[in-house]
Structure 1
């Protein structure tokens, strides 16, 4: 009969027994049957002795992508996408950059009567015909009679 609990191994001594805590060497973990087994994890993961399970490796910490790319960590792996300057975003497959149309996505700051016009990498706010942008960045009527 084993009188010791889980994580302990029973050792017979004269007239009694002693429970020794089982500790496994680094790189191994204790199984339910009280034996030490090597820590084996699937690719992209490593064994965490504190949590006694495999956890994701953040490969991006090693900067595996090219200088003009951004690393995105995923479970068990990573992917590299183009790093895009402001006003641009990665394409669907992340292999190039494309202009963000701030006017279509409504991320512009044009107000009131202003009309948003997309430009490569940015946008401009214009006033409709017959109006001019004043110092307060508002559209102001042009008095065509005084011209």
Structure 2
């Protein structure tokens, strides 16, 4: 962090029990039971939470990128995120796909907006070079 960095927000959570536990935000707005993927137990898992956070953030980045292209983001714009938990030789890793719908925007312009949003989005920046990411304009 440099002296010019401005912290806009800090999300704070407390988690116990790992993938079979419970997570709560410091403000009480998030209280969630965690469960292992495919366990059939009540609760969500870190991959779903990451997908939800990334898709929400990416929508914000899309709005900014659309504005840079002098286009208004459609109100029905949507991002479907898929985050895979993978293993290879006992090592765990993530892989992701984002499918982006920008109804009413010509396909090549939509692709340019998505590419720019991928440069803007903090989640995309955090994963760049760390996991395989596929972007699809649908």
TM-score normalised according to structure 1 size: 0.22
Which structure has more relative contact order (CA 8 Å, sep 6+)? It is 2
- Higher gyration radius (CA): 1
Higher helix share: 2
Query: If the length of structure 2 is used for normalisation, what is the TM-score?
Result: 0.23
